[in-house]
Chain A
């Protein structure tokens, strides 16, 4: 570490924050990680208040979330199906006239709830940068080429065992303005629904062994090392196909359903 951690001092806001060095950011990240390890209290979700991610400074609630017992509407989730999503939307490489440039990959896995039950017939949405690290988005001004054959957007409905499979192009890392010389590790954004609305989540999937993990204040918003590794896919040669695409496995676990166990409970009482 080439600079001491900042400990308690509020970092400068955008755009001045873009002048901070990676060493300064890494110092902040390591300091928070050391404090977390010393505290000995397990955290498995990202911190809302994570100063190294500068955009979070004015956008995180300061009050603890208020406990709610879910009511009927929250115990159900919207229904999606074949009317909503065509099966070909899971292939991001066939949306245009030509072949996209880059490393063709398959990302496949299962969506489960916190009880290990498959989440069936539910919507998964995905979006990502292209093989040069550029998003199809008007606010992305990174001077890397757009690929006219790659939009980087896919959707699928999970199968009877909660399974999904996307064919896409491996995204590249890209720079952003959190601090000077800031780079995001390559990632794919995933959006998921469960059986209950309370299970709604959006997250990011990463690739194994990325050298940018330790430097990235978004990946590091999850302060527990084991918890953040849950976002890293596994290379899986059984998903890789001969002369076609390499394969990655990534299973996603949603929070626990509050409807299914109550239904089971009610059934047990009837017996």
Chain B
């Protein structure tokens, strides 16, 4: 891979999502990438907390992921779900106690041997720009050990990006925006 070329234009600055997105961003079945109870479905859920460990009741999360085979959907229809098409995108506003729930599938690796993960963005009042993170599946420990991003983090930080598998098959992933166990948030090339 050669060096990424410099940007020609300066990106527009981000701003906080603010508190009043309620009629705009949530939509019917936004957090249901497939129907709850579907035999393929799993629950992805967790809490969003601030630097005091207090729940953030007005965060908005988005996920973007491959299907079980690692295929990336190019299908439209995330905003108007037909109940059958897996589009790979979902959005969830947290509830009054800062808890979120998605219904989705376990993503497969997009390239053979890679550790599968779900890409996530975080928005909230008080958060001046979006945050990116990854939700890694906990099972493939060999792939996790080989993952270049995880390898570049110390053990404690690495753990904040790996979901916990619960007894019923759910994935549990908590977000801590600040503090000791602060979730690892990501920057990418070509942001400026």
Contact = CB atoms under 8 A, between A and B. Distances in A.
Choose among B1, B9, B75, B157 the residue with the greatest number of A CB atoms under 10 Å from its CB: B9
Contacts of A200: 62, 121, 130, 132
Interface stretch (A1-9, A28-36, A99-107, A132-140): A132-140
Residue among B78, B117, B179 facing the most chain A CB atoms (10 A cut-off) = B78
Interface residues of B, number: 82
Interface string A225-266: 001101100000000000000000000111111100110010
Contacts of A271: none
Given A65-B187, A83-B77, A59 B178 contact: yes
Contacts of A126: 24
Interface residues of A, number: 83
Contacts of B131: 61, 65
A138 B96 CA distance: 13
B37 interface: no
B110 interface: yes
A79 B64 contact: no
Interface stretch (A18-26, A41-49, A160-168, A207-215): A41-49
Given A114-B9, A203-B12, A46 B128 contact: yes
A91 interface: no
A221 B15 contact: yes
Contacts of B23: 127, 136-137, 151-153
B134 to A, nearest CB: 8
Contacts of B17: 189, 191, 202
Interface string B89-119: 1000000000000000001001100100101
A79 to B, nearest CB: 5
Contacts of B111: 71-72
B20 interface: yes
B177 A61 contact: yes
A97 to B, nearest CB: 18
A194 B131 CA distance: 16
A63 B10 CA distance: 24
Nearest to B123: A202
Contacts of A57: 51, 126
B188 A68 contact: yes
B149 interface: yes
Interface string B174-187: 00011100111111
Interface stretch (B38-46, B66-74, B163-171): B66-74
Interface in B4-58: 4-5, 7-25, 50-52, 54, 56, 58
A252 B12 contact: yes
Contact of A116 (B9, B117, B127, B128): B9
Contacts of B177: 58-61
Q: Which of B11, B22, B64, B126 has the most CB of A within 10 A?
A: B11
A59 B9 CA distance: 30
8 contacts: A45-B192, A58-B54, A68-B187, A69-B188, A80-B78, A140-B19, A202-B14, A204-B15
Given A56-B127, A255-B192, 4 more contacts: A61-B185, A79-B87, A115-B7, A137-B23
